[in-house]
Amino acid sequence: MWIFFYKIRGKLPAAILKQIYFAFVLPYLLYGIELYANIAPTHINKLIVLNNKLLRILQNKTYSYPVKRLYRNYNTLPIPDLFYFQFSLLVYKYVHCKQILPTSFINYFTMNNMIHSYNTRTQNDLHFGTVNTNLGKRSLKFKASNV
């Protein structure tokens, strides 16, 4: 698979290589990122390294080139930051535009004003539930209230 990218990087202009990344790589990274990127960093590290390698190949940069600049050149985010961006986007859609959410997420989160009826500063925030395990701390509902 990598041989293909090595072969085309010298034959196509940089703008086309960037379009190839956004057309064939980024959609696969974004699909379901709210679920698969919510695991321990050691498990997702292989995917991060693979994405960094692909960006180096497409931009024709050496191994010592800074990773942050690779992402900045393509105006995209690293996978952990993509997770938080997409997750924040899901919470934003829940709070402000429920009509564009899938039906399974319409009643997924709980707002503080659903729990109590008195006015507080945080009545329009997501309800911060309690969890006792590390698995619970990685749940979407718990992370949403933190974000």
Cβ contacts of 133 within 8 Å, gap of 6 or more: none
Alpha helices in 74-131 (DSSP H): 79-96, 112-115
67-92: pLDDT as tens digits? 999 999 999 999 989 988 988 888 88
Alpha helices in the chain (DSSP H): 2-9, 14-24, 26-30, 33-36, 41-59, 67-73, 79-96, 112-115, 134-137, 140-146
Which region, left, alpha or beta, applies to residue 126 given φ > 0 means left and ψ of -120 to 50 means alpha? beta
Q: Of the given ranges (12-16, 24-28, 29-33, 40-44), which has the lowest mean pLDDT?
A: 40-44
